[in-house]
Amino acid sequence: MKRIVDFVHIKLSDIKPPEIDHRLGENEEDFQELVDSIKIYGILLPLILKKVNDHYEVIAGHRRYQAAKINGHEVAPCTIVDGTNKELEFLKLHENLKRKDLSDVDQGYTFIKLHQEFDLTEENISHLCGKSIAYVSQHMSLVCGDSSIMHAVANGAINFSVSRSLNHVKNEEDRHRLLKYAVDNGCSVEVADSWAHEANRQREEQADIPKENQKDFEPPPTMVPVYPCFSCNTGFEASQLRYVRFCPSCHNLLLKSVQ
């Protein structure tokens, strides 16, 4: 891969979004912060583009490109590069991961894409992105596992660590029931691990019983988690939770002040 032009201003009207974007879901709060930042300070990091016929395609910096359009910018600072599809995909992955733009689900899809299109092993992808082989394998498993759990991670209803534990629940009905518990009540990875272990143990004990007579696993009250207060860290049950409405900007400011 080589740089054609190291730094130049390109009209946004001449730039097209990537044909395939690694980012499948957007964090609206983070994106709004980027829009606000570019409105005040402009685009501090250049977009990385490749020339395609009579226009340019974004290789890295798609969110900055979108934020600049929202703010009414006519041009953006850019670096123009050229290379094989494989080289450009590697560059895109490197830029997105290093800037932490990709969610856990997006990373999983990206790793699978690299494996399928470029025949890369998990070890190859590990070296490419600077992550452990286990990290790559776990993110690929998230996308290949239960779709309900994957969507819960994408929506921020549960975190990645909890999803790994829930995907270890072998029975689909148990898995979906425990996912609902985790979403409704909150859940730590330790609690999710205990749920998975107990659910699988109970199903194994009932292996010789007809399925219609098997008892579904229900977490006892001592295994249902409590929410930690953001301010004092005191735990409280879901029924005691109080909701207050804030816009994304005020929520972030308030949370930072409390912390």
In a domain, 130, yes or no: no
Domains in the chain, number:
3
Per residue in 214-237, pLDDT (tens digit) is 888 888 766 665 666 666 656 665
- The reported pLDDT for the residue numbered 31 is 81
**Which residue segment(s) compose the domain that 251 sits in?**
229-259
Q: What is the pLDDT of residue 127?
A: 85
* Whether residue 216 is found in the same domain as residue 174: yes
* Domain end residue (candidates: 35, 60, 86): 86
pLDDT band for position 188 (50/70/90)?
confident
Residue 141 has pLDDT above 70, yes or no: yes
CA distances from 196 to 28, 178, 180, 193 (A): 32, 9, 14, 5
Residue 92 resides in a domain = no
Residue 224 or 111, more confident:
111
Any domain includes 91 = no
Per-residue confidence band for 92, with pLDDT thresholds at 50, 70 and 90: confident
The arithmetic mean of pLDDT across residues 180-202, rounded, is 90
Coil/strand/helix, residue 37: helix
Q: Please state the pTM of the whole predicted model.
A: 0.64
Do 252 and 179 lie in one domain? The reply is: no
Question: Taking Cα atoms as reference points, which of 109, 85, 77 lies closest to residue 96?
Answer: 109
- Clarify whether residues 213 and 234 are in a common domain: no
Whether residues 2 and 74 share a domain: the answer is: yes
Q: How many helical (H) and strand (E) elements, i.e. helices and strands, does the chain have?
A: 11, 7
Same domain, 218 and 243: no
Is residue 120, in this structure, part of any structural domain at all?
no
| CB of 83 closer than 8 Å to CB of 67 | no
3 plus 74 within the same structural domain:
yes
What are the pLDDT digits (tens) for 120-137? Answer: 899 988 887 788 999 999
Percentage of the chain with pLDDT > 90?
Answer: 37
**Residue in the structure block whose two tokens are 């979906």:** 176
- On whether residue 110 sits in a domain, the answer given is no
What is the SS3 assignment for 236?
strand
In 80-231, which residue ranges form alpha helices assigned H by DSSP?
A: 85-98, 104-118, 122-129, 133-144, 147-154, 160-166, 172-185, 189-205
Q: What is the enclosing helix (H) or strand (E) of 91?
A: helix 85-98
